[in-house]
Structure 1
Amino acid sequence: MTNNESSAKPPRPEPPVLDPSDKRTALVERLQSVLAGLPSFFEFDNHFSGVNATDLHALNTLLGASIEGQVVKALNLQRPIWDPDDEWLGYTFERQSQTFPDVRLVRKGDKGKPDIGLGIELKGWFLLAKEGEPSFRFTTSAKACADHDLLVVLPWYLDNVLSGSPVAAEPFVASARWAAEYRNYYWQHMRNTKGDTAITSPEGAIPYPDTSDMRISDHPAYDGGGNFGRVARVSGMMDDFIRDSNNTEVLGIRIGDWHSFLRMHSDQADLDTVSAKMRIELEKRVSKISEKDASFLISTLLLAKEILKDV
């Protein structure tokens, strides 16, 4: 359907209404509590140092799988919270690669076929990555998402910004089916575009298929910018989450400010030019914050500039 074929927008998708008598519904509610408290449960003992500040963004690729593995470990360690009545004995969270969902709550069934409780599409987001927002693509069709499946995005950073151990921030948690439906709704009805907005969904897609070769992704008729599935850019989905994550303070400075500072630098950046840009930006903000905070911000960023000379 193109924009000209209909002037009336259908209602925005809503998360699926979960059956209160289904034990998976109570499980999802408990998991949401566990995931909200993940920063307290998350443990990553490895310490990282010696990374060039202008190369920090590469940590998103380097440590992404390890970060997601730690989330799965944390979920299994918090079993008393999400399974207080032992309704899910024999089930454990396991990661799987190259297919949806990334994480499944599974128990080995008869003849080796697993029984699946629910799935979690889990994505890590290094807060100092270049984009300043989650960059992953979520193209899975709503047909392949069970009602209780979740989409989880975990923001993380190093506790000393330029070095240290990974620390988790509060994640984004939403129904995976709703995310898939809302993504398509945005693509067809909310973007300001004149192109063909039709979307083709795979025939016969179902949750947790027995074979890994089943087609489960939606495909737009036209995607000149290659942006279909970039859910961080879907207006109304995770805007508040991205803003709040970038307001996370590390060493007294917001992640968003650290990100802006590091983006000014590149392998070819002239440090004197960067310093001039920094002062201009800081002068714009001084009127909005206290003199004490402004002084602290200036001195801290200038100290970081000196650190950059040595890394």
Structure 2
Amino acid sequence: MATAEVPPPEEPVLQEDDPKTILQQRLRTVLLGLPSFFKFSNHISGVNATDLYSLNGLLGASIEGQVVKALNQQRALWDPDDEWLGYTFERQSQAFPDVRLVRKGASTDGIEIALGIELKGWFLLSKEGEPSFRFTTTAAACADHDLLVVVPWYLDNVLSGSPVAGEPFVASAKWAAEYRNYYWQHVRRTNASTDIASPSGAKPYPAKADLIADVPAVDGGKNFGRVARAEGLMTDWIRTTNQTEVLGIRIEDWFLFLKMHSDQADPSDITLKLYEEVLRAKDGQAKRQAVKAYQSLMGLLDAYGVDG
């Protein structure tokens, strides 16, 4: 059985005067301010409430494309002194990292890479209630300045409207890969082998055909790489993000409401469960919040013709 006696990994120590370090720090600031830069003009409507989770697959690539566009449009913030002229962010869905800051025609290979971002989107009303992507890339394939970025998003009217970005998760990609393995080998409780095989010769900015994935000896549940489940990696961020209020109700309450219906429960049972949440609320503030959510969700029941 694995234990947590081994200390967790820490983010790479970067040289403060390295131009790439300064660039990365500025990009982190820009990424955290992404909600104010994010623009998506398409309006989504006509999707059944119980089918909303499918939007993650339908719009995921477009959302990630909009993030790349926003980064290029905010060049003045991450390159105020024009030190990276000629460099632009490009997305390559089959490569790692899938977003790279590149300058073409700058070397014998025809391209020069400043740093990379492994970019993932998370639709907040997807079935899992947490990011579901798998990140299996070995740490050796991550450059010290590369980032793992997860962008949460939702529709501004919950069931319809335009996509809105929330504050993303931003961390060193190398650290995330090392922490994933640390969790797998030293934190999770299991009696099975915790060995992980890493590919030899892995290096940053690999070609598409290169082997760069860590492979566990035993993974019966296919959970290796599900970094959202690695306690301590993005746990606090997920919890905070699920507190986001849309139309006055927390995302986690919208999620629970829609999940009840997706499970095809009897409408009367759903109403009873929602009312029980109100009764279970301990203090006055929690009770008022539960009542507010209950009343709003009952309005949704009426809107969708469900007899509560």
Partner in structure 1 of residue 120 of structure 2: 123
Partner SS state of residue 45, structure 1: coil
Q: Letter of the 1:59 partner, please give it.
A: L
Matched, 1:27 2:9: no
Q: Is the 8 A contact 2:253 2:293 kept in 1?
A: no
- TM superposition shift of 1:21: 2.1
Which structure 1 segments of 5+ residues have no match? none
Partner SS state of residue 21, structure 1: coil
Count of aligned pairs:
305
Q: Is the 8 A contact 2:277 2:290 kept in 1?
A: no
- TM superposition shift of 1:295: 3.9
Q: Matched residues in 2 for 1:165 and 1:92: separation?
A: 27
The percentage of counterpart residues that share the same residue type is 65
Partner in structure 2 of residue 79 of structure 1: 75
Q: Matched residues in 1 for 2:52 and 2:290: separation?
A: 26
The correspondence for 2:198, drawn from 191, 201, 212, is 201
Q: How does 1:36-115 map to 2 (within 5 A)?
A: 36-108=32-104, 109-111=106-108, 113-115=110-112
Q: Is the 8 A contact 1:54 1:267 kept in 2?
A: no
- TM superposition shift of 1:286: 6.3
Partner in structure 2 of residue 176 of structure 1: 173
Q: Tell me the TM-score normalized by structure 2.
A: 0.95
Which structure 2 segments of 5+ residues have no match? none
Q: Matched residues in 2 for 1:105 and 1:8: separation?
A: 37
**What's the RMSD between the two structures over aligned residues?**
1.7
Q: How does 1:275-286 map to 2 (within 5 A)?
A: 275-285=271-281
Q: Is the 8 A contact 2:140 2:203 kept in 1?
A: yes
Partner in structure 2 of residue 157 of structure 1: 154
Q: Matched residues in 2 for 1:57 and 1:290: separation?
A: 28
CA gap 1:267/1:244 in 2 versus in 1, 3 angstroms: closer
CA offset digits 1:178-206 (Å, max 9, x no partner)? 00001001111111111110101100000
Q: Matched residues in 2 for 1:80 and 1:131: separation?
A: 37
Q: Matched residues in 2 for 1:30 and 1:8: separation?
A: 34
Q: Letter of the 2:141 partner, please give it.
A: A
Q: Is the 8 A contact 2:281 2:287 kept in 1?
A: no
Q: Matched residues in 2 for 1:193 and 1:112: separation?
A: 46
Q: Is the 8 A contact 2:68 2:99 kept in 1?
A: yes
- TM superposition shift of 1:111: 5.0
CA gap 1:25/1:279 in 2 versus in 1, 3 angstroms: same
The correspondence for 1:136, drawn from 128, 133, 136, is 133
Partner in structure 2 of residue 262 of structure 1: 258
CA gap 1:234/1:286 in 2 versus in 1, 3 angstroms: same
Q: Tell me the TM-score normalized by structure 1.
A: 0.94
Q: Letter of the 1:284 partner, please give it.
A: R
Partner SS state of residue 265, structure 1: helix
CA gap 1:294/1:69 in 2 versus in 1, 3 angstroms: same
Q: Matched residues in 2 for 1:168 and 1:257: separation?
A: 18
Partner in structure 2 of residue 300 of structure 1: 296
